[in-house]
Every structure is written in C-alpha cells, then in structure tokens.
Amino acid sequence: MPLAKALELAQEYDLDLVEVAATARPPVCKLMDYGKFKYESAMKAREARKNQAHTVIKEMKLRPKIDPHDYDTKKGHVVRFLKQGDKVKITIMFRGREQSRPELGFRLLQRLANDVQDLGFVESSAKQDGRNMIMVLGPHKKKTEAMAEARAAQDARKAERQGRNAGPADADGDSAADDAALEAENAALEAEADGAEDDEDADDDATHDEVEAGDTAADAEQPAEVAQDA
C-alpha cells in the first residue's frame, strides 16, 4: 500500500501509523492507538516487575559472647529475613583471645540454626574465614511464594477495611489509619520487587563500634598479664 494511502486511512480512523518492521522490504506498518499501546506496555512491565524475585543475601553479625537479649534481637531479624524468602549470611566475629576459642562461635551458629530450622536450613555449613566464622542459611520458602503470601495478606486486610467502611461513619479515623498502613505495605512490596537494600547497616555500624571497643579493652588487658607473669 502506498504511504499516502496509509496516512489517509490513519487520519480517517483517527489512529496512528506505526512502523513495526523497519528492516522488512517493503517496511511493515500498523494502524493503532499508539498512546494506548504505550500505556498497556508500561502496565505489563510493571506487573512483570511485581512477580520478579530478586535473590538477596542479608547479613547478620554476632560476637561469640553475645548477650541473651541481643541474641534474641538478632534472631528476630534472621526470622524476618527468612520469612521474606531471603538468604542470611551469619558472621561470628572473633577478636583478641576469642580467636583461640572457635568452638564458641560454632556452638552459637548451631544454636541459631536449630532455633530457625522451621523457617530455613543450613545452606553453607560453618567454616572459619580468617578471624570470622561464616554460615549461610537458606529459606524453605521461595522468594516468589513469600511475596505472593504478603500480597494475599495485604488484599485480605484491604477487603476487611472496605467491609468496615460500609458500616457506621464513626470508623473514619480507623479507615484513614488503615489506608496509610496499606500504602506503606504496598511501598515495601514494590521495594522488594525492585531489589530491596539491606536495612541492617545501622545495626552493623553499632556492631563495628562494639568490636573496636572490645579490641581496645583486650589490648589494655594484655600488658597487665605480662607484668604478672614477670
């Protein structure tokens, strides 16, 4: 078909003449609503990103002589990561004379693995890496399954909220709070779909400060022991 005729048809039907195969001889064109086509393509890409799972390895650092309360806090983070379908790298940091007691770190890793065995498994057994001991935990649940369950729970809460909205008008305050909560959860799910970053940076910084303080204390104790031996 001549180009002039094709342009005339596009104008007659209020459509766009789009070249879909420029390398063909003759080139192939199509009559379409190009704006609608771009919108539908963007929506398909967005849905594909929602269903895409990114493999993320979180990291949790512990000391061999960790306080019970701190251990429970760290374990809570590990549980949360495994529920989200992420792998977790557990690092035991040895400092000073702690390096002569690697069995302490091994026992701690075994204890943690047993505490979270319902949610994850030991993907990489404990092994010494310089002054650290490392173990990797893998989730029983796949990332896509965890994301699907999170979205299903969010949809259920949304349906429940809509049911309450159909009731008395005095629930407006609760409805607004639920709307804000659902928006926050949706933003979190979008961040997971696009590749969420590890939110343990601040906790790791605090751990490094603790490590430096421990090194200073260990260095201060050594001269006193030498003097006693003399």
| CA 79 – CA 120 distance, rounded (Å) | 9
Task: Report DSSP state, residue 17.
Answer: E
Q: What is the 3-state secondary structure (H, E, C) of 178-204?
A: HHHHHHHHHHHHHHHHCCCCCCCHHHH
Burial of 109 (0-12, 13-18, 19+ CB in 10 A): buried
Give the pair of three-digit tokens for residue 6. 């094709």
| CA 83 – CA 142 distance, rounded (Å) | 9
Secondary structure (3-state) at 98: helix
> pLDDT (tens digit, 0 to 9) for every residue of the chain, 230 residues total?
788 888 888 888 888 988 888 888 888 888 999 899 999 999 988 887 776 666 678 999 999 999 999 999 999 999 999 988 889 999 999 988 888 889 999 999 999 999 999 988 999 899 988 899 999 999 988 877 777 777 787 788 888 877 777 655 444 555 556 566 666 666 666 565 555 444 444 444 444 444 444 444 444 444 444 333 43
Task: Write out the E strands in 86-193.
Answer: 87-93, 120-129, 132-139
pTM above 0.85, yes or no: no
Helix (H) or strand (E) holding 156: helix 143-165
What's the maximum distance between 2 C-alpha atoms anywhere in the chain?
Answer: 105
Q: Which fold has domain 55-158?
A: Translation Initiation Factor IF3 (3.30.110)
The structural domains of the chain, with segments of one domain joined by +, span 1-33, 55-158
Cβ atoms of residues 60 and 200 within 8 Å: yes
